[in-house]
Structure formats: C-alpha cells, structure tokens
Amino acid sequence: MSGMRYEAPGSVDEAVALLADANGAARVLAGGTDLLVQLRAGMISPDVVVNIKDISETHGITAEGGGFRIGASVSGAEMGENAALVAAWPGVVEGAELIGSTQVQGRATMTGNLCNASPAADGVPALIAGGATCTIAGPNGTREAPVGDIPTGPGKTSLGNGEFIVAINLPARPANASDAYLRMIPRTEMDIAIVGAGVNLVLDDDGTCTAASVVLGAVGPKTITVADAAAALVGSKVDDAALEAVKAAASAAATPIDDKRGTVAYRTKVAGVLAARAAAIAATRARS
C-alpha cells in the first residue's frame, strides 16, 4: 500500500517508457473497474499505476478500412451509443454492454476486460469470434496481434514488458454477416459468467452459412474456439439440425471445472444451449 506511484502520461511513448522502467511492477489503468477492486482487496500491489486515458490514441471509435478501430480507453457505454458499430457488430457490443451495471458501463473498457484475462470475461468471446486484432505499443514499436493471443491463462497475458494495447480493431464486414453473445449468470446483472458463448457468421444470398466462428467463455482456463461447431454451421441454413450439432459440439468442447459458481455438468450442458441460441440469433440478425 505504501509508496505506490500514479502516473498519467500524455503520449504512447511516455507510457511505454514508464511501463518498461517498472520492470513488471507496473499496471495499466483504463476504466479501473478490475484494477481498483483488486488494489482494494490487496490482491495486487504494483509500484506504479499508469493511467492511459490522457493518451489521445486510446480514444474514439473510428471507421477504418471498412472495419472499426476502438481505442483502448473507450467505455462500454460509448460503444453502445455508436450506431454504426452496433449495426455491424451487435454481438461484440452486447458482450461489452453486459459488463456490470450502468455505472460500471461508463468506465469499463473492452481492452481492460481482455487484459484482465479472466476466462469469464464477457467482452472477449465475441471479439475472438469476430476475428478482432489489437494494436500493441511497446519498447520496440507497434505490433498487431489477434485478440485471442492476448490472454494466456487466468490473470495472465502475452504482453511483454513495457507493452500495452492502444486499440482493438474489428475487420471489414461482408454482406449478410452478424454476431451474437449470450452468457449465463444466476441473476440478471452484477455477476460473473458461468458460461459465455459468442458466435459470428456470414450467410450467402440464399441464407446458407459460408463462414462461422463459435467461441466459448468461462468453461476452461481460456476461451475455447469450437471448430466443430463452426463446421456444423458452414454449409447449413442454420436450421434446427445445424443448431443441434452446434449444441453437441459446444458441450463436447467445454472443459469447465466445478467451483463455487457452477458444476461441470451444468456448465457443459449450458455451453451447448447458449452456443446454439447465439448462433440462431446471429443468423436472424444476418438475414435481416
């Protein structure tokens, strides 16, 4: 508790320098809805906290190359207010908007959700299903990496010393494409997912699925990309038979544990249920 430093650099380079200097004893502060809770609970005690919200590159949602660039400081509430983003990526936005409550929404960011590296993070499965990447600044300049490569296990990321995420990028959307995210919690808000399922898919003009991705959260140490479920969707009209196959594949792929939040049997079954429901919602959105 004693001697913790707070810094609010105004540029990417300054932030990188501060982070690199601290040699792993620094923490990035975005919305702080995970960080402050962990600080208060005594779970972490960094030497320096680096607030990135004064860095202009971390702000704004911008259309880029047919896709979107979402700054690392953008809150869930800002995403929900961006009509173009909501129209193109309703599943990504609903994942972000499930986080916490109205108050938490005003602060919490997708990037913070990703870098907190909880297997149950609600913002992450739809991002991975959507093929999102992130722009990472570090001592050696800037690099791009798929979102799915960032969390490496509960609370752990692949970010190197001095690195932080500046923005998340969603790719260009073909026609008839959409996504959806669903989660299971025992109440209606203010809880942690015991199962999450994100589905992104593309239909052709006849309504036949040409590409799909199904990603599960909270049923393993990391998100799980269910290739068999995607395969069951591709080539189908996303009909009942395909959805049954998605359900079976998702349940088969889930590797949950028994803990205070849910049992293996429950999570395995519900992973299938939510994957199939999310696929049906994504398909309905893609058709309209």
Ligand X SMILES: Cc1cc2nc3c(=O)[nH]c(=O)nc-3n(C[C@H](O)[C@H](O)[C@H](O)COP(=O)(O)OP(=O)(O)OC[C@H]3O[C@@H](n4cnc5c(N)ncnc54)[C@H](O)[C@@H]3O)c2cc1C
Residue numbers at the binding site for ligand X (CB under 6 A): 27-35, 37, 52, 72, 98-100, 104, 107-109, 111-113, 115-116, 121-123, 159, 164-165, 190
Residues engaged in binding other proteins (CB under 8 A): 1-2, 184, 186-192, 260-263, 265-266, 269-270, 273-274
Q: How far is the CB of 165 from ligand X (least distance, A)?
A: 4
Paired tokens of 194: 């015991």
What's the CA gap between 215 and 57, in Å, rounded?
A: 29
CB 128 within 8 Å of CB 147:
yes
Q: How far is the CB of 165 from other proteins (least distance, A)?
A: 26
What's the CA gap between 114 and 45, in Å, rounded?
A: 20
Question: Among ligand X, other proteins, none, what does residue 49 contact (CB within 5–8 Å per kind)?
Answer: none
In the complex with other proteins, the residue whose CB is nearer, 71 or 100, is 100
Question: Among other proteins, ligand X, none, what does residue 206 contact (CB within 5–8 Å per kind)?
Answer: none
Question: Among ligand X, other proteins, none, what does residue 265 contact (CB within 5–8 Å per kind)?
Answer: other proteins
DSSP state at residue 75: B
In the complex with other proteins, the residue whose CB is nearer, 1 or 175, is 1
* 144: β partners: 135
Q: How far is the CB of 36 from other proteins (least distance, A)?
A: 15
In the complex with other proteins, the residue whose CB is nearer, 2 or 288, is 2
Question: Among other proteins, ligand X, none, what does residue 99 contact (CB within 5–8 Å per kind)?
Answer: ligand X
Q: How far is the CB of 114 from other proteins (least distance, A)?
A: 20
In the complex with ligand X, the residue whose CB is nearer, 127 or 245, is 127
In the complex with other proteins, the residue whose CB is nearer, 17 or 264, is 264
In the complex with ligand X, the residue whose CB is nearer, 12 or 279, is 12
Say whether 196 sits in a helix, a strand or coil: strand
Pairing of strands 48-51, 5-7: parallel
CB 33 within 8 Å of CB 26:
no
Say whether 259 sits in a helix, a strand or coil: strand
Q: How far is the CB of 272 from ligand X (least distance, A)?
A: 21
Question: Among ligand X, other proteins, none, what does residue 263 contact (CB within 5–8 Å per kind)?
Answer: other proteins
**Cα 168 to the center of its chain, rounded Å:** 10
CB 135 within 8 Å of CB 55:
no
In the complex with other proteins, the residue whose CB is nearer, 40 or 144, is 40
Q: How far is the CB of 115 from ligand X (least distance, A)?
A: 3
**Cα 62 to the center of its chain, rounded Å:** 18
Question: Among ligand X, other proteins, none, what does residue 223 contact (CB within 5–8 Å per kind)?
Answer: none
Give which of 210, 207, 50, 34 is closest to 112, Cα–Cα: 34
Helices (H), the chain: 12-22, 35-40, 76-80, 83-88, 90-97, 102-105, 110-115, 124-129, 227-233, 240-253, 264-287
Question: Among ligand X, other proteins, none, what does residue 80 contact (CB within 5–8 Å per kind)?
Answer: none
Paired tokens of 249: 């594949």
